[in-house]
Amino acid sequence: MLAVLADYGAFAHDLVPASALPDAFRALLDHGKSMTAVLTDHWRAEIVAEVACHTLAGGTAALVRRVVLMTEPARLPVEIAEIRVEPGAFDGALLRRLAGTSVPFGRSLQREGIAFATEPVAFFKVTAAGSLAEAGRVEEGTVLFGRKARLLGRDGRLLAETVEILPRA
């Protein structure tokens, strides 16, 4: 799942405990809420998704969606993320609606009436370089923090997994 880091040219990352995250990043990463809602509250702005790519697939994921979340209207990147929807979690029509929309994934689920909880699984830090620095609009060498998380349905079943990297807090 952390392959998204390699795709952005960030081959090395270090797992860290939540307690090692800087306070500002910890407040944004160490919770069980919708990341979209947390970022909206923190940045006091509408959050939109710029979809870098999406693939409706089979096998290990029904949908893979890579996005950069940005504030609106300033277009400040506040998250780089990849979402992998579990096969069978949603029907095909819903997956097609979720795939390319500029609405962030969590907000899309809420609009569809799908309740979910977020379960952080791991936290990490990575040094921005190349396309990761470019996507986050940060200087190369900037230390970024992120998490791997699971989105769980009301019944506890796995809906999706995500990797979320914050270029700023």
Instruction: Note the pTM of the prediction, 2 decimals.
Output: 0.89
The reported pLDDT for the residue numbered 125 is 94
The pLDDT tens digits for 66-102 are 999 999 999 999 999 999 999 999 988 888 888 878 8
Q: Which residue has the tokens 């700023």?
A: 168
> How far is 52 from 68, CA to CA, in rounded Å?
7
Q: If we measure between CA atoms, which residue out of 51, 165, 164 comes closest to residue 108?
A: 51
Beta-ladder partners of 11: none
Eight-class DSSP state of 136: H
Angle at 64 between CA 42 and CA 146, to 5 degrees: 35
The pLDDT tens digits for 13-37 are 789 999 999 999 999 999 999 999 9
Q: How confident is the model at residue 1 (pLDDT cuts 50, 70, 90)?
A: very low
Q: How confident is the model at residue 56 (pLDDT cuts 50, 70, 90)?
A: confident
Confirm if 109 and 97 have CB atoms less than 8 A apart: no
Residue 115 host element (H or E): none
The pLDDT tens digits for 122-168 are 999 999 988 889 999 999 999 999 999 999 999 999 999 999 999 99
In the chain the beta strands, taken as DSSP E runs, fall at 13-16, 46-56, 63-72, 77-85, 116-127, 143-153, 158-166
Confirm if 151 and 66 have CB atoms less than 8 A apart: no
> How far is 69 from 137, CA to CA, in rounded Å?
12
Q: Mean pLDDT in the chain?
A: 89
Residue 5 host element (H or E): helix 3-7
Domains and CATH numbers, the chain: 3-166 (3.40.1410.10)
